[in-house]
Structure formats: C-alpha cells, structure tokens
Amino acid sequence: MKVFLNNNLVPEEDASVSVYDHGFLYGDGVYETMRAYEGVVFKLDEHVSRLNQSALFIQLTIPEKQFMRDAVYQTLSANKLSDAYIRVTVSRGKGPIGLDPALCKHPTFIIIAKEFKGYPEARYQEGVKAILAKTRKNLSEALNPQIKSLNFLNNILATIEAKEQGADEAIMLNAHGFIAEGTVSNIFFVSDDTLCTPSLDAGILNGITRETVISIAQRADITVREGMFPPGDLLNAQEVFYTNTSSEILPISRIDHTTYGIGNMTRQLRKLYKKEVADYIRKNKK
C-alpha cells in the first residue's frame, strides 16, 4: 500500500513522521474520514471544506482544496482502490518542543486509504449495543466541537467504558447532562413519528452523514426535530440509530438495559440513504 505524505506517494513502510511532530506531541492537528464507492468519494467537497474550517479554527495552514481533492484520488488510484475508507490528516508539523504553533514551519499532510469491505449485514438487521457513558463531552467553551481535531482522549475514555460493558458504541452527554453524540457518531432517535437528533447547541460535531440524513428525511416528509434532549427521551424512544461515514445508518438495539426494535423509519432512511449514495456516484462517475 502507498500513503500520500506531504507531496508524494510513498510505500507505507516508508511513511513516517518526526518524533517532534506536534500532532504526535500535542495532538495539534485536524483530520477527516471519507468513504469511496465505486471509485467516487462521497461528499468529497463537503469533507474538504470541513477540514479547511477545522484548520481555520486552530490557525493551521493546510494545502489548497483542489490539491487535497486531487491527492485523495491519486491515493485511491495508486492503491487500485474502488470501495475504500480514507483518512486525511494534517498536523502542525515538526518543531521544537513547546506549545507555540509558530515553532512549526510546515504542516504534515497525510492520506491513508484502505479497502472497505463493509460491515456484516447482521449488524444492520439486529442492531448494535450502546451505553450511556459517564465520560462527558468537552465544554464547547473549552474546545469548539466543530473542530475535528486529533485530540480524542475523552472519546477514547468513553470507548473504554463501552468495551468494558460489551457494547459497540458509547453515547456521551454534554456538561449539562443532555445527549450529545457517540464517540465516532451522531445519534438519532424516533419518538411519536418524529426523527429527533441533538442540535449543534448540544456541543456536537456537525456530521456530514448527519446532515445528509436530515436532508433525506425532510425530503421524505418526515418531521425532524433538532434540540436538547435529556437521556430519558432517548431511553423512551421507539427506534435509535447512529450515523457516520463508514457505517452510514446503523440501528442501535440496546442502550444499557433498554432494548429497541429495528423500526420502519430506520429501515426507510437506510434505503433512502443508499439511493442518495447511488445517485451521487452516478452523477460523479468519471
């Protein structure tokens, strides 16, 4: 496999960064994950724009958007990948020890792509297990949730909680006790035929899959409510699912001791999401 490192494609065994890279030393950097279907990167422009926004928030200079778009496709081509998981990472770069960003003269730019074979269909038919984590999301006033940064320690701690309880995902609350998001996902639930999801005010990342699902639901005349929801609303829901780039729409069958069916709205939205992807591929196929 080959990795895009700064300006070149290199064999993965030669793709290394300095021990003085501030992404390694301090988690100083941003990233995006994407998914390619049949050689087409779904919502590539949206991902690149969000990466650019994250970088602006931390005053990190990153490559131009067109360069990044081209580099993503070069990486897919070099690895002969059609259906792929893609991660684009930009760190502050190499510099002397110290927090001052000015110590780093050049950012480190990395693209890793690997074959994506999909998840077992049983996960979608039976759902996955989740917990309500004790670990809370960072305060928005401490770290802007719209920065998709390399700082992931609180999500990792919540993941440890989930793993210890035999669950696949941990749902995190914000500092005020309202539902925020999963460790790697956005959360949706169905209550009284309304599709509910935490609003950006809850301190969540505005997921690109999340935005897509909201748009699909609205076009299907499904009532969508974004808001601040206490855990009880989630535990009393009829259906629950989470969204992210790789899993798309994945039903949740259990949260702690509460069980849920895989309902009609979840199935409908999953079908509509697949159509959305297929339409996007058809329009953007080269």
State phi, psi for 103 to the nearest 5 degrees.
-70, -20
Cα–Cα separations (whole angstroms), residue 256 to 168, 173, 239, 252 = 11, 14, 15, 11
The one-letter amino acid at 105: K
What is the number of other CB atoms lying within 10 angstroms of the CB of residue 49?
14
**Polymer length of the chain:** 286
CA 265 and chain centroid, separation: 22
CA 198 and chain centroid, separation: 15
Please indicate whether residue 148 is annotated as part of the active site: yes
Catalytic residue (choose from 2, 43, 94, 148): 148
Residue pair 145/137 in contact (Cβ under 8 Å)? The answer is yes
SS3 126: helix
Residue 208's H or E segment, with its range, is helix 208-219
Residue pair 33/43 in contact (Cβ under 8 Å)? The answer is no
Burial of residue 283 (CB within 10 Å: 0-12, 13-18, 19+) is exposed
Structure tokens at 216: 């699909």
The one-letter amino acid at 94: K
Burial of residue 254 (CB within 10 Å: 0-12, 13-18, 19+) is middle
What residues are labeled active site? 148
